[in-house]
Amino acid sequence: MNDNAILFPPIEPNRSGMLAVDELHTLYWEECGNPNGQPVLYLHGGPGAGSSPLQRRFFDPAHYRIVLFDQRGAGKSTPLGEYRQNTTQLLIEDIEKLRVMLGIEQWLIFGGSWGSTLALAYGEAHPERCRGFVLRGIFLCTKAEVEWFVNGMKFFYPEIHAAFANAIPEAERGDLLHAYVSRLFCDDPAVYTEAARNWSRYEGSCLFLKPQPEAIASFESDAVSLGIGRLEAHYMRNGAFIEDDALIRNIGAIRHLPAVIVQGRYDVICPPVSAYRLHQAWPEAAFHMIGDAGHSSMEPGITAALVRALNQFAAGQAFD
């Protein structure tokens, strides 16, 4: 690993492609690292955020066969921002189609934020296909977490929440989620593009413990904001298409598998209580509360903990 950085050096995919999963959605996927190595699946956040070259660098390319893909409606997958035929159950089916296509029997599952939600849902549906989990910035998509995201963050970021709310006429601000849904899923591109940009800017502005202007700018781009704005609202209004708190209730399906949970102490987007609740239900999992971090996986303390966990798993060591 590069002595001057926590992450491994940049790498390019060994191969990549597009996988048609139904008549509407086609997914971008890529493989990096050691073609004969330990398979690991990266599940990006959002939903709708897509993967990026930076995310390849968490993994030792000499050890891991690194698989990344863009979920339905996200990143390079088409159509961008498409919320029809887009549910957690279908995403789980997509992961299985990708696994079968790649000829992988079992893999380590790595996911942060919404990626942690999907990792838990996939693992509980297919525990026999998982070798373990590295989870960050836990989001269980409960009603309480959705309410916090839409309204609660104003207690820490009042000016950012005010900008988010003030984009909506005053008469509709009593139910911001409904107000944004009505705009994000309308037929007018000018309306839904602006709403998506406002939604995505709101999240991007709250990612880091210390503000990162470049991150905020990336969240405002159409390529990112359309996927994030539409799909986050879509999944939030539908409770991720799972029963409230089902991921905690069903944790017994994967408790026998090794896992590490990494959480920023000052994560305002996905407050630490969710990670704490997950660890209470899964006490066998290693749990790291990073004292000087917010939500982003790119904050140094979080990045270091994630890379350490992946290196431990690669070495056959128990997570600590």
Q: Please identify which of the residues 200, 234, 295, 296 carries the catalytic annotation.
A: 295
Catalytic site includes residue 77: no
**Whole-number Å distance between alpha carbons of 261 and 142:** 18
| Same domain flag for 184 and 269 | no
| Same domain flag for 293 and 212 | no
| Same domain flag for 130 and 54 | yes
| Same domain flag for 135 and 49 | yes
Classified as helix, coil or strand, 264 is strand
Domain annotation covers residue 3: no
Catalytic site includes residue 295: yes
**pLDDT at site 1:** 42
User: Are 253 and 124 spatial neighbours (Cβ–Cβ below 8 Å)?
Assistant: yes
| Same domain flag for 131 and 150 | no
Classified as helix, coil or strand, 2 is coil
Which pTM value belongs to this model? 0.97
| Same domain flag for 24 and 43 | yes
| Same domain flag for 123 and 263 | yes
Domain annotation covers residue 6: no
Alpha helix (H) residue ranges in 103-244: 114-125, 143-151, 158-166, 176-184, 189-204, 213-220, 222-237
User: Which of 223, 240, 257 lies at the terminal end of a domain, its last residue?
Assistant: 240
Catalytic site includes residue 44: no
Q: Which run of H or E residues covers position 87?
A: none
Buried b (16+ CB within 10 A) or exposed e, 170-207: eeeeeebeebbbbbbbeeeeeebbbbbbbbbbbbbbbb
Q: Please identify which of the residues 267, 274, 279, 296 carries the catalytic annotation.
A: 267
**pLDDT at site 2:** 35
Domain annotation covers residue 54: yes
Domain annotation covers residue 227: yes
Q: In the chain, how many domains are there?
A: 2
| Same domain flag for 231 and 305 | no
Tokens of 262: 């990494």
| Same domain flag for 134 and 176 | no
Tokens of 78: 């088409």
Q: Which residues contact 268 (CB under 8 A, 6 or more apart)?
A: 153, 156, 157, 206, 294, 295
**pLDDT at site 3:** 37
Q: Please identify which of the residues 51, 77, 113, 205 carries the catalytic annotation.
A: 113
User: Which of 240, 265, 294 lies at the terminal end of a domain, its last residue?
Assistant: 240
**pLDDT at site 58:** 98
Tokens of 183: 């705009």
| Same domain flag for 200 and 256 | no
CATH number at residue 128: 3.40.50.1820
User: Are 230 and 73 spatial neighbours (Cβ–Cβ below 8 Å)?
Assistant: yes
**Whole-number Å distance between alpha carbons of 39 and 41:** 7
| Same domain flag for 115 and 23 | yes
Domain annotation covers residue 7: no
Read off φ and ψ for residue 184, nearest 5 degrees.
-65, -30
**pLDDT at site 240:** 97
Structural domain harbouring 232: 144-240
**pLDDT at site 245:** 96
Other CB atoms within 10 A of residue 267 CB? 28
User: Are 110 and 132 spatial neighbours (Cβ–Cβ below 8 Å)?
Assistant: no
Q: Rounded to 5 degrees, what angle do the CA atoms 118, 175, 263 make?
A: 35
Q: What is the DSSP letter of 271?
A: -
Domain annotation covers residue 8: no
Domain annotation covers residue 73: yes
Domain annotation covers residue 86: yes
User: Are 319 and 291 spatial neighbours (Cβ–Cβ below 8 Å)?
Assistant: no
User: Which of 240, 256, 289 lies at the terminal end of a domain, its last residue?
Assistant: 240
pLDDT in tens, the chain (320 residues): 433 479 999 999 999 999 999 999 999 999 999 999 999 999 999 999 999 999 999 999 999 999 999 999 999 999 999 999 999 999 999 999 999 999 999 999 999 999 999 999 999 999 999 999 999 999 999 999 999 999 999 999 999 999 999 999 999 999 999 999 999 999 999 999 999 999 999 999 999 998 888 877 888 888 899 999 999 999 999 999 999 999 999 999 999 999 999 999 999 999 999 999 999 999 999 999 999 999 999 999 999 999 999 999 999 998 88
| Same domain flag for 23 and 131 | yes
